[in-house]
Amino acid sequence: MSTIECNIVEVCIFCFSETGPMFLLLRRSKTDRIYPDTWQMVSGSIEGNETALKASLRELDEETGLVPERYWLVPHMNTFLNPKRDVVHISAVFAAQVPVGSLPTLSPEHYEFEWCSMDRAKQLLVWPGQVQALNIIHEY
């Protein structure tokens, strides 16, 4: 029987450009052991006794080096199955507004980034839960 774990966080990074909101997506390393070469939001594991909030801010810094101007907990939980471990993950989703023109400093976990319109981000994201989170953030 599958187990359930709530030890992952995700962060949707966005800015407001002259043409509207833009969302930052990161492309996973081609050699990543799970989901290589896919586009995603910032994501990572909660470590030790961290809260989800602290873990999300740490992951944001580690994966992009960006500092948010504003930060929210999104009223959405993403879920996915890790078939190798037979674990259903439930992840808290946060939204980070950064200044327009911000350029991330990528960690080795990713090799490419793109600032995307809403439509482009929906084309690149592979997980429906991340698209749903994007819709919620966009509506707010």
pLDDT, tens digit (0-9, with 9 covering 90-100), for 87-129? 999 999 999 999 999 999 999 999 999 999 999 999 999 989 9
Please report, rounded to a whole number, the percentage of residues in the chain having pLDDT higher than 70. Answer: 100
Q: What is the pLDDT of residue 119?
A: 97
Reading the block at residue 125, the tokens are 């994201």
Which pTM was predicted?
0.93
Structure tokens at 103: 């350029």
When pLDDT is averaged across residues 7-29 and rounded to a whole number, the result is: 96
Between residues 76 and 81, the one the model is more confident about: 76
| Per-residue model confidence (pLDDT) at position 35 | 81
Q: Is the pLDDT of residue 82 over 90?
A: no
Q: How far apart are CA 25 and CA 2, in angstroms?
A: 30
* 140 confidence band (pLDDT: 50, 70, 90): confident
pLDDT: which is higher, 84 or 41: 41
- Of 36, 34, 28, 32, the C-alpha closest to 114 is 28
Position 13 pLDDT exceeds 90: yes
Q: How confident is the model at residue 69 (pLDDT cuts 50, 70, 90)?
A: very high
Task: State yes or no: pLDDT of 51 exceeds 90.
Answer: yes
Asked whether the predicted pLDDT for residue 85 surpasses 90, the reply is no
Encoded tokens for 100: 């327009």
Residue 8 burial class via C-beta count within 10 angstroms: exposed 0-12, middle 13-18, buried 19 and up: buried
For residue 35, is it left (φ>0), alpha (ψ between -120 and 50) or beta?
left
